[in-house]
A = this chain, B = another copy of it.
Amino acid sequence: MSEREAQHEPRSPNGRRSGVRTILVVGPHPDDAELGIGGTILTLAAAGHTVHLLDMTNGEPTPKGSLERRAKESARAAEILGVASRTTLDLPNRYVMDTIEARTKVAEAIRKIKPDLMLVPYWVDAHPDHVATSHICDAARFQAKLTKTDMAGEPWYPAKILYYHCSHLRIAFPASLIVDVSAQWGRKIDAAKSYASQFDVDGEYPVIDLITRYAAYFGALICAEYGEPLLSREPIGVTDIRDII
């Protein structure tokens, strides 16, 4: 065991209870965060938190996409989501692997953004890029706090990491929490529809039908119109019940 102390230092200068947090959302490709937790991003931004987006790859090639088109779509989506920044790493689409190099890129982003909370893909998924992204984020969260390295930035340890469901695998997602995103659902769909190159099938958006079903179900479980589930491996601590439905 090394690097122990870092973990015991104050983890988030914002403080745990003061309120406003910095959140880093990691998506394998531009559009994954939108589909998986676009409503959560909007809900947290509306509550005053600062949300940053990090894409592992530019997402291309795809059947109908191009680098230029995808970049425009993802910029438009970021605007709708109201995020503070969107960064795209240069990892290879379709071939993201859990390497030291990939971890270091994410760790440096963490040291720059200094998030209190990371929202990253669930490690069980049909798409290998999603699986790798999940593992890379776990490792990078730890690596970001190292001292005596040649990584850019100062040591930082995000206090919490939660996993979201990317919709490729049709599993019953094991939710620890469900975020009520009813008030933001319309904007989430707008953000998702920015990716016409990915989702528009002759004017239909089958994947948006799919995520709407998911959200209507998880919403029903918390007596809300729409909900997005999150998984935590560490237990969820609370200081009050005010925000719990």
- Which A residues have a C-beta under 8 Å from some C-beta of B? 1-8, 11, 16, 19, 21, 28-29, 31-32, 35, 43-44, 47, 49, 59-65, 93-95, 97, 100, 103, 117, 124, 126-128, 131, 138-139, 141-143, 146-149, 159-160, 166-172, 174-180, 198-199, 201, 206-207, 210, 213-214, 216-224, 227, 229, 233-245
- Give the dominant DSSP class at A's interface: loop
Contact at A128–B142, with CB atoms within 8 Å? yes
Contact at B218–A216, with CB atoms within 8 Å? no
Contact at A237–B2, with CB atoms within 8 Å? no
In Å, the complex CA distance between A148 and B236 comes to 41
Q: Which residues of B contact A240 (CB under 8 A)?
A: 43-44, 47, 243
Contact at B245–A222, with CB atoms within 8 Å? no
Question: Can you list 10 A-B contacts (CB < 8 A)?
Answer: A3-B63, A8-B201, A16-B245, A126-B138, A131-B138, A171-B221, A210-B220, A221-B237, A239-B245, A243-B243
In Å, the complex CA distance between A174 and B243 comes to 21
Contact at A245–B237, with CB atoms within 8 Å? yes
CB of A121, distance to nearest CB on chain B (Å): 10
